[in-house]
Amino acid sequence: MSGNHASSPVAAQVRHVEALLEERGLLDPHEIDERIDALAAGGTPANGAALVARAWVDPAFRERLLADGNAAIAELGFSMGGALQEQKLTVMANDADEHHVVVCTLCSCYPIALLGPSPGWYKSEAYRSRVVREPRAVLREFGLELPASTRITVWDASAESRYLVLPRRPEDTEGRSEEELAGLVTRKGLIGTAAV
């Protein structure tokens, strides 16, 4: 899946608002880029993997993460502070009956602080439109074949809300350290397009 939406109507609107804020002296011309760079500099899939590993070994943390993502990630020193606002983080746990997958149908809203820069396929129009209509087929293309009995729930991110999948802990991982468990978690697992 590929695609480029730099010339989308939303991108044009964003550029227009930035220009108006700069003209009125409310925004330094480089401020948005500096904030985005700062956010992206600390963002990596290892952050999300650390959250998952902690949730796998600490049931109380898992409950807090599922109840209030923002408060729980702060316990590990992470934040959902965006360039202009704090975003609400909702974490959904996969289980044998339900599998979660994340998309942003309008553009590519995504928890950069926890997953690093979004992959190209996540931004593509093909993924953004198809995963909502035919999630099982899209997941199959990623190599994830789920049982027919497994319900798939698609979560649509927005400027205010971000989503993260808490994958199922792999079998036969008892006794592994938190660090070893984190090493099993991938960005695709945190988006829901792969199992761990």
Active site residues: 104, 107-109
What is the token pair recorded at 4? 């480029």
Say how many residues make up the chain. Answer: 196
Amino acid at 52: V
3-state SS, 104-155, equals CCCCCCCCHHHHCCCCHHHHCHHHHHHHHHCHHHHHHHCCCCCCCCCEEEEE
Q: Rounded distance, CA 6 to CA 61, Å?
A: 39
* Bridge partner residues of 90 (DSSP): 163
Residue ranges in the chain assigned as alpha helix (H): 9-23, 31-42, 45-57, 59-67, 69-75, 112-115, 120-123, 125-133, 135-141, 178-182, 187-191
Do 144 and 193 contact (CB within 8 A), yes or no? yes
Of residues 194, 88, 100, 187, the one with CA closest to residue 140? 194
* Residue 133 CA to its chain's centroid (Å): 20
